[in-house]
């Protein structure tokens, strides 16, 4: 997936996701958001460390912030409140409706 998005033409034109047409640049940001958020899901559920770089966190933060402020409300679950000085990863996770302090049962 990362290799495909390295190609400049992947960010141009229009594509579809789930039958919904959207610009390639938007699809690329959505793909990165999915990798970051679901990467956190997997790492947290399996007790592994997870530390995406700041550049990779900025894109989902901006995307999820815009969706949370949208006319229909958050696209996912309700935004979870975090401190203003929380790490950027915690803010991204919270914007996706997840609790940054979540741990699997029994951990």
CA–CA separation, 23 and 13 (whole Å): 6
pLDDT at 71 over 80: no
Backbone φ/ψ region at 15: left (φ over 0), alpha (ψ -120 to 50), beta: beta
Mean pLDDT of 25-32: 93
CA–CA separation, 46 and 75 (whole Å): 26
CA–CA separation, 54 and 73 (whole Å): 26
- pTM, rounded to two decimals: 0.87
pLDDT confidence tier of residue 29, bands split at 50, 70 and 90? very high
pLDDT at 76 over 80: no
């Amino acid at each position: 997936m990362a290799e495909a998005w390295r190609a400049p033409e992947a960010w141009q034109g229009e594509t579809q996701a789930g039958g919904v047409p959207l610009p390639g640049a938007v699809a690329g940001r959505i793909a990165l958001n999915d990798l970051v958020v679901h990467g956190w899901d997997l790492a947290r559920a399996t007790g592994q460390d997870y530390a995406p770089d700041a550049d990779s966190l900025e894109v989902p933060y901006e995307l999820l912030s815009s969706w949370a402020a949208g006319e229909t409300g958050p696209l996912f679950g309700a935004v979870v409140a975090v401190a203003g000085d929380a790490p950027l990863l915690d803010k991204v996770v919270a914007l996706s409706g997840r609790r940054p302090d979540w741990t699997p049962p029994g951990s």
